[in-house]
A and B are shown apart, each in its own frame.
Chain A
Amino acid sequence: MAQIDDFLWTYQNLLASLGVNGLLALSMYVVLAIGQLSLGQAAFMGLGAYASALLTLKLDAPFPAVIAASMLVPAAVALVIGAPTLRLSGVYLALATVSLGEILRVVLVESDLTGGALGLSGIPEKAGLPLIFACLALALVAFTLICRSRIGRAMEAIREDEIAASASGIDLPAYKMAALVASAMLAGLAGALNAHISSFISPNEYGFDAAVTILSFALLGGIGSPFGPVIGAFILTLLPELLRPLHDYRLVVNGLIIVFAVLFMPHGLLVWPIGRIGAKA
């Protein structure tokens, strides 16, 4: 028992990152699964982190309400971003979400409420490892169930051919919006959990590099099933820890992974059966 406690204590930060990054990878997965690209996952995470941290620090709000808010705030922003862009070709969503990240960064740095460039510190540690991993497990189960249903099939159809999907009676706008909102909520949740375990947040954590890193999680694991991105996140979180020299070249490696995954392994590095009836084994 004592040994396990020791282990947890030593590796608490690493384990927490595994869980948080797993959730972020899933949030990327939902959007990629319908053939869209969002580069706003880091910004959604930041929104969740700041919303929750402010509620806790300034209003001392109860933790469940804080968590709910951390999902609702990014969801509302996703609605505002998605409404005009999801009707257009996928490039627009990608670029609009990039803009979201840049605008958020500037606002966070400028605003006194959010502590400016220094960020917020002293956030109470209300999210333990059990909560984080329970959230991840719950999300994985939910996505697996969805994957195996008509909704999962519709998402795959949209990813393959939007026009044919629409001609098959799939409500394209509703699916795209729901995916973006769900993805924003998950990223917001990840942000809140992260804020309430690491006790400190700052604007730099939610920049463009973070967004691209989240994308590399999902592309490494592949989006054939929800497990792929989570495993991708685990690998890319652990690898730099295990191979210390890799640490400085983390971004170089992430970049290479994206290039290779898209060019040579469009189905991801890990191919994982979905287990939907009627699908390929």
Chain B
Amino acid sequence: MLGQQIINGLVAGSAYALFALGLTLMFGVLGVVNLTYGFYFAVGAYLALLAAGAGAPIALALPLAAILAGLVAVVLDFLLLTRLRRTRAPELASLMVTLGATLFLYSAMSALLGSEIRRFPAGLLDNGAFALGAYRISVGQILIVGTAVLLSLGLVSLMGATRTGLAMRALAENSDASELMGVDTQAIMRRVSFLSGALGGAAGVLIGLEYNAIAPYMGEAMTLKGFAIIILGGLGNIGGALAAGLLVGVLEALTAGYVSSVYKEAVGFLLLVLTLWVRPQGLFGRPGARRA
């Protein structure tokens, strides 16, 4: 029982980690608290649903949804945040704009698509499962963990080993200085938007598969959870976000198993409030980071 809970928690946690990865990338490099991030999550899930409904296999639907979600992210970032970046508005301004946009986007989405819960067509995934000693892991779960690990590794090596990654890190440190050093900040920002949107979209597909429930507002709760995770991990800290995502996934599964499935939803937030009291720089953050 306990082992199975932990396995389920790790599966959900790896999707959370992927989601948090895109969010922390966006926050770390672009320096904005972008609440529309959860919208890419929902967009990804719906696009995959659409593609699957049209008969596409998951191997096609997943990357397609992620890429389109990434493009949506680039467009929204351009519409909402270019102006604020130019006028160097305080960071709360970007938070408020994206908050308003979120409200607009979600309610427009549910007005257009209906707010009822949708499900992937049966047979999209193989129904089989593997036995791991006494425990079960379904094909879907393996797909989730596999995709999350693959994309995380891809991002980490992109950040570490390519020119684009280097420019991203320079931008994260100091956007003025990197502009002076000849980095095309606009282009890098677009790439970061795309990458984080795509990660968010992929996470949406994976979570949609795990719970097989897709609704317009799924991104809203997830964004909030995502912020709890990246603060837990230490804002802007990629390794921290991954670890905190897994941690929240496991703790949620345990809470659902042993306490109540409603309290499960509060786990991330409770952790966040505790973190702010005990270790405001996050569990894995450097002390003194991001003080006012």
Does a CB–CB distance below 8 Å link A and B in the complex?
A: yes
Chain B residue contacts of A91, Cβ below 8 A: 33, 91-92, 95
Verify B105–A99 contact, CB threshold 8 A.
no
Verify A99–B292 contact, CB threshold 8 A.
no
Verify B227–A89 contact, CB threshold 8 A.
no
Verify B95–A258 contact, CB threshold 8 A.
no
- The yes or no answer to B189 lying at the interface (CB within 8 A) is no
Verify A94–B291 contact, CB threshold 8 A.
no
Per-position 1/0 for B231-271, Cβ under 8 A of A: 10000000000000000000000000000101101101110
Segment at the interface with A among B60-68, B96-104, B153-161: B96-104
Evaluate whether A102 and B224 lie within 8 angstroms (CB atoms) in the complex, with A94-B92, A258-B97 already known: yes
**A-B pair number, CB within 8 angstroms:** 139
Chain B residue contacts of A102, Cβ below 8 A: 221, 224, 265-266, 269
Verify B273–A96 contact, CB threshold 8 A.
yes
Least CB distance, B77 to chain A, in whole angstroms: 13
Verify A212–B99 contact, CB threshold 8 A.
yes
Kindly state the separation between the CA atoms of A39 and B223 in the bound complex, as whole angstroms: 14
Evaluate whether A209 and B93 lie within 8 angstroms (CB atoms) in the complex, with A88-B291, A109-B262 already known: no
Kindly state the separation between the CA atoms of A102 and B101 in the bound complex, as whole angstroms: 20
Chain B facing A: main interface SS: helix
- The yes or no answer to B13 lying at the interface (CB within 8 A) is no
Per-position 1/0 for B276-292, Cβ under 8 A of A: 11001000000000111
7 interchain pairs, CB-CB under 8 A: A37-B95, A94-B92, A95-B228, A110-B260, A251-B107, A254-B103, A255-B104
Which residues of A does B touch, CB under 8 Å? 35-37, 39, 81, 83-85, 87-92, 94-96, 98-100, 102-103, 106-107, 109-110, 162, 208-209, 212, 215-216, 219, 248-249, 251-252, 254-259, 261-263, 266
Which residues of B does A touch, CB under 8 Å? 33, 80, 83-84, 89-93, 95-97, 99-108, 111, 220-221, 224, 227-228, 231, 260, 262-263, 265-266, 268-270, 272-273, 276-277, 280, 290-292
